[in-house]
Structure 1
């Protein structure tokens, strides 16, 4: 995998449950491979893409809370239940806070991510990210600068050359 070219990253939690859609993943995020962690991909993203990751997590949390409340749970119980299954991710100025204290049952399990000297954010969160084929992704979140000079040029997982 080329480590200087943009790739699309996704994970099993973003699998597409819609059988009428040909895409395996609901969402993917444009970034540059940076490292591996426990066999999974670590990558850097622009502030715009980081915002899309945060928005995606907020949507998943809201859906889980709403489903619990609709099922009869009190709002505070629904919120705590969601946090037992999902990380809470939010902006704090230009910092990203990944709070998994409830999820991990560990009062110290908080990750704070600052942008690097180029304004990029490192993404891992201890999640199982993979570089995926962009053709398998329904919605790809990318900023103008995340794709090089040709916005739809991507490097497919495992390839060594750009493919449209």
Structure 2
């Protein structure tokens, strides 16, 4: 489920009072600094994704989510690639430098059946394959990207709904 500012929130019961310091097993909304922008003296995020905290990695959140939410991360990554390709081109960058820079900064993500494939060859690293766990949940770039829990009302677009205990 995707929520945007242009659409009213669906009736989902009481709003959750999210703890900014989730414990493993607790659900929340996650975003990264690449989605952040300044707003009215604070911070907002272009998107946030519903999931369950699995563990911490260097203080950052490692979280799992449904396939629908994982698909939103993959789709948003491809939107970011198109955006940055246009930005690089507008600033005079040309091939093959443009593609090398884009692939290093915003790696390609795609689906191979039920597996998310992340091309990390620009970083001289092997392709990353993110498979669903035994419950069909995905840990999207946990331990690779610096995710943090964010308040749901600080996001322009929200993918998914947190699970209630």
Whether TM-score is above 0.5 comes out as yes
Secondary structure in structure 1 of the residue aligned to 2:109: strand
* Partner residue in 2 for 1:136: 154
State the distance in 1 between where 2:95 and 2:80 align: 16
CA contact (8 A) 1:23 1:137 kept: no
Q: Residues 117-128 of structure 1 correspond to what in structure 2 (within 5 A)?
A: 117-123=134-140, 124=142, 126-128=144-146
Deviations 1:94-139 (A, max 9, x none): 101122221x2x2x33211111111110121511100111121111
Cα deviation, residue 23, structure 1: 5.9
* Partner residue in 2 for 1:53: 73
State the distance in 2 between where 1:99 and 1:125 align: 16
Q: Which runs of 5+ in 1 are unaligned?
A: 150-161
Deviations 1:30-86 (A, max 9, x none): 000001112111000111100100111111111111122334444544222211212
Secondary structure in structure 2 of the residue aligned to 1:4: coil
CA contact (8 A) 2:66 2:136 kept: yes
State the distance in 2 between where 1:30 and 1:147 align: 5
Count of residues in Structure 1 that have an aligned counterpart in Structure 2: 143
Of 35, 43, 56, 1:14 maps to 35
State the distance in 2 between where 1:37 and 1:98 align: 19
* Partner residue in 2 for 1:158: none
State the distance in 2 between where 1:112 and 1:16 align: 30
Residue 99 in 1 paired to residue 119 in 2? yes
Q: Which runs of 5+ in 2 are unaligned?
A: 1-21
Runs of 4+ in 1 over 4 A off after TM superposition: none
